Amino acid sequence: MNEEEYLRTYDPKGFESPLLSVDAVLFTYHEGQLKVLLVERSNHPDKAKWGLPGGFVDLGADTCLEDTVIRKLKEKTGVIPPYIEQLSTIGNNQRDKRGWSVTVCYTALIARQECETHIDSVSDTQWVSLEQLPSLDLAFDHASIVQAGRERLKQKALYSIIPAYSLPERFTLSDLQHVHEVLLGKPIQKKSFRRRIEQADLLVDTGEKRSETGRPATLYKLKSLAGQHTFIRNLEL
């Protein structure tokens, strides 16, 4: 049999295959805390439990896995997050009551303001701070996936400016430092933090200031390639 013939007679349902889904851990930074987007499940299994936004590949609509995760996130937030990265793929025969199941997991970041109106308008979607997460009984193994996403982001905080994508487009250096501190779980020397960002030339001064109490702070924007920069020396853990 040649390849042409093989393809003509190929039956995609010829043998059993694991269930395949895509899930996203979407983080934002708001009110001094890191928060994750959760969705109330409307279908079995684990119906009515809270879980990660995600779902199945739509073979017609999606051309690749990233299409799937973007489609799902846009459904829930109304927008496409500025940062999306594949986290890991988890597959085994215990995580889903239906049997062998594989989920391709992504981590994403967004400013809360970007999707505030969309999320406030529905009751089945909410931001949950990582501190109150342990008190929730999440669907499937989603609690451990959130944990893995957080660990990954913590690593990024040590050697990149990626956490900035969890802030609004314009932010202060203090804002950014706070996100990093929450991720690392320890304070950072202000001077060290500013020095490395300044040296790497990752931000643009918008000229604007934000004044709350005390001296007004300069508002910065990320330069376009800032997310790709990695410092050769890490912050201490």
Partner DNA sequence: CTAATAGTGTCTATTAGACATTATGTG
Partner DNA sequence: CACATAATGTCTAATAGACACTATTAG
Using CB under 8 A, pick the residue from 32, 75, 79, 89 that binds a copy of itself: 89
Q: Which does 45 bind (CB under 5 to 8 A by kind): DNA, a copy of itself, none?
A: a copy of itself
- The span of 25-33, 38-46, 72-80, 217-225 binding a copy of itself (CB under 8 A) equals 38-46
Query: Could you say whether residue 232 binds DNA (CB under 7 A)?
Result: yes
Are residues 52 and 38 in contact, defined by beta-carbon separation less than 8 angstroms? yes
Query: What is the spatial distance between Cα 115 and Cα 204, in angstroms, rounded to a whole number?
Result: 24
From the list 40, 74, 82, 90, which residue makes contact with a copy of itself (rule: CB under 8 A)?
90
Alpha carbon distance 114, 116 (integer Å): 6
* 225 in contact with a copy of itself (CB under 8 A): no
Q: Which does 3 bind (CB under 5 to 8 A by kind): a copy of itself, DNA, none?
A: a copy of itself
Binders of DNA among residues 151 to 190 (CB under 7 A) are 172-174, 188-190
Separation of alpha carbons 153 and 60, rounded Å: 32
Residues 190-229, one symbol each (x = binds DNA by CB under 7 A, - = not), give xxxxxxx-xx---------x-xxxxxxxx-----------
Neighbour tally for 230: CB within 10 Å: 13
Alpha-carbon distance values, 221 to 69, 129, 170, 227 (Å) = 26, 25, 5, 12
- The DSSP result for 129-140, as a single string, is ETTTGGGS--ST
User: Residue 22 and residue 64: Cα distance in Å, rounded?
Assistant: 11
Nearest to 100, CA basis, from 10, 21, 11: 21
Which entry of DNA, a copy of itself, none binds 59, CB below 5 to 8 A by partner kind?
a copy of itself
Q: Kindly state whether residue 186 participates in binding a copy of itself, applying the rule CB under 8 A.
A: no
Query: Which residues share a beta bridge with 129?
Result: 35
Q: How far is the CB of 202 from DNA (least distance, A)?
A: 12
Element holding 142 (H helix, E strand): helix 142-159
Binding site for a copy of itself (CB under 8 A): 1, 3, 6-7, 10, 12-13, 15-20, 44-47, 56-57, 59, 62-65, 86, 88-94, 97-100, 102, 104, 232-234, 236-237
Binding site for DNA (CB under 7 A): 172-174, 188-196, 198-199, 209, 211-218, 231-236
